[in-house]
Amino acid sequence: MYKQGIKKVKPAFLSAAIGALLLGSGAANAADPSQLLKKTEDKVIEWRHHLHQHPELGNREFETAKYIASHLKELGIKVETGVAHTGVIGFLQGGKPGPTVALRADMDALPVTEQVDVPFASKAKTEYNGEEVGVMHACGHDTHVAMLMGTAEVLAGMRDELAGNVLFIFQPAEEGAPDGEEGGAKLMLKEGLFKKYKPDVAFGQHVTSSLPTGVIGYRSGPLMASADEFRITVNGRQTHGSRPWGGVDPITTAAQIIMGTQTIVSRQIDITKEPAVVSFGKIDGGVRNNIIPDSVFMNGTIRNFDMDNRKQIFEKLKITAENIAASAGATAKVQILEGYPVTVNNPELTKEALPALRAAAGAKRVMEVPKVTGAEDFSYFAEAVPGFYYFVGVTPAGKDPATAASNHSPRFYVDESALKVGTEALTRLTLNYMADHKAR
């Protein structure tokens, strides 16, 4: 997720009447969910507490899935479990013909030991990479699930009035599948989720400490970056540190590769199109001060906002590393592990979504935000159908979002009064889209 300074925003929640005026001609005719939303507020917080106390890592969300499935079944929603290992799908058929709207929440927690002093703090532990670790919903996925459960309850209560269908996607492994496993949105699509249910659009949201409580941040077009990992192994020839000419030094060669790759973004990619970042996060080579080793291993990340630029960076990284290594008499093996693509908000859908967001949060509390160099696998859904993804602020009044503990921190804190805003946003996005795209 991202961090940024945000100007202080005064609460300006709209009345139902003013909100209706903001919805536009089609959306103004959408059914009013206000009373049902009010009844779910406390429930959403209760569900969030339960989920927060019982976090599970990606592809291991077994109890979380049971909890969600039980709730959806009680609402009379068609339920499918075991999707992409532990995912839960709910399908609500409305009483009138119309489009199918997909709503997505991610379910997985992180291997983080909680340091937030709340009564429902996680005490869970599990094994991760061979070590015992704490488990925490340090990215707020517990709130995403709770808000979508609340949205499901509201929309199920309006079933006969719905001019269309709703596909509720409770997705596992957004933070990444365990090594050697597939998972997340990509696997759901691979298994045929959208072919089976054929949604017309997909909506998703994410809580963030970078915005004040209840403020919604959005952006049309590229919102979040692609995220790819690269691994470079430089092979030289071992020799004594006192006689470097007796071998081929992979450490010096690796240093030259690191410097050389910095010109990919600064000199070889058109950054007026979209920004990009190539960062090294790990370098490992050698065991002793006076022994030049045989090899060096380097590991890093690539972030960018344009899929054509992404391809060029892949190609240029390989060419740069291999040729610098060859100039030193060494070799370089470059491996690129493609991660999530760019998360792109469909411009037309973004425009259509704004009245619903303003009705949920208040007109002055919906703002355009900068691009985010973090990544999201909602991007796969938004590649398959028009998608719209946005942020809901959870940093309470009196705290500066610019210095608040970020998502993924063991001190990540959620002001739960924001959850009613997120629940209402998902609900109104669905109803407004149906009203604007009625079956003819």
Of the listed 56, 416, 424, 433, which one is catalytic? 416
Instruction: Write b or e for each residue in 197-206: b if 16 or more Cβ atoms lie within 10 A of its Cβ, otherwise e.
Output: bebbbbbbbb
340 counts as catalytic: yes
416 in active site = yes
Catalytic pick from 67, 218, 340, 389?
340
Catalytic residue positions, numbered = 340, 416
